Amino acid sequence: MKRLLAISTVLTLSLLLNSCDPFEEYFINLKMDQQFQLYGIGPNITQQTNFCLNNYDDYNDNVDKIEQIKYVDAAYLTINASEGLNSDNLSLKLYESDGNTLLFDYNLPSFVASDYSNKALHIQLTQTEKERINQYLSHHQQNNCFVAVLTAENVRSNNSLPYFSLQAKIEFVAELKLKP
């Protein structure tokens, strides 16, 4: 009788104790949009923008639970542009918050703005570039700001006036690994 009672108690306690930690690590994808307004008389038009992870609610809501942040992906989309705008090269540079330490430099030769107004351009980085960003993000409590520079080089358009404009969006996706 005592043995049966002991076994039942152990089973019940085991069930309760094993149930205490039902959670496991989970991951949230943080999407960061950055809009650019490039305009000027050429030949190059450029804009620099600064942004920080704490501009985004998903980061702020989970900042105390973040174990790791990893760069995942990026894309470019044209929102609006001078008619027929094209350029010899579209360059996207991402720097650490100091504006000097380069994390990646992506270039697209023979850029035609309208090609990416209905079809996002997938920005694929090298493994080394991804590792550089991830190294910077490994101290995200301090290193959570970036400087992004978008440049269209040697721009041309169908406009008779030598004035060019490009409104564009860059999206970055990062993965937040969260403690249970």
Partner 1 sequence: MKKSFLILIIIYFACQNIFAQGVRIDNLPPQEAVKYVKPLSTYLGTFFNTGAYHNADVPDLFGFKFSIVGTLTFLPESEKSFAPNPGLEGSENFESTATIFGTQGGYFLSNTGFVVYPSGLGLKNIPLGIYQVAGSLFGTELMIRYFPTIKKDNVQAGLWGIGLKHEISRYFPLLPLDISVQLLLNRLKIENKSSDPTDYAKFESKNFALNVQASKTFAGLLIIYGGLQYESSNLDVSYYFKDPDGVFPSLADRIYDLKVDGDNTFRLTVGTALQLSFFVLNFDANITKQTTLSAGMSFEF
Closest CA to 71 of 6, 122, 131, 17: 131
Instruction: Give the count of beta carbons closer than 10 Å to the beta carbon of residue 132.
Output: 19
Binding piece for partner 1, criterion CB under 8 A, among 1-9, 42-50, 85-93, 99-107:
1-9
Task: State which residue, 20 or 161, has the beta carbon closest to partner 1.
Answer: 20
Binding piece for partner 1, criterion CB under 8 A, among 84-92, 100-108, 115-123, 136-144:
115-123
CB of 82 to partner 1, least distance (A): 21
156-161 CB contacts, 8 Å cutoff, 24+ apart: 156/42, 156/84, 156/85, 156/86, 156/87, 157/81, 157/82, 157/83, 157/84, 157/85, 157/86, 158/82, 158/83, 158/84, 159/82, 159/83, 159/84
Answer yes or no whether residue 10 interacts with partner 1 by CB under 8 A.
no
Q: Which of residues 12-51 bind partner 1 (CB under 8 A)?
A: 12, 15-16, 18-29, 31, 33
How far is it, in rounded angstroms, from Cα 111 to Cα 136? 30
Q: Which of residues 50-89 bind partner 1 (CB under 8 A)?
A: 61-62, 72-73, 75, 77
Answer yes or no whether residue 178 interacts with partner 1 by CB under 8 A.
yes
Question: CA end-to-end span of the chain, whole Å?
Answer: 41
Task: State which residue, 125 or 155, has the beta carbon closest to partner 1.
Answer: 125
* Footprint of partner 1 (CB under 8 A): 1, 4-5, 8-9, 11-12, 15-16, 18-29, 31, 33, 61-62, 72-73, 75, 77, 118-120, 122, 169, 171, 173, 178, 180
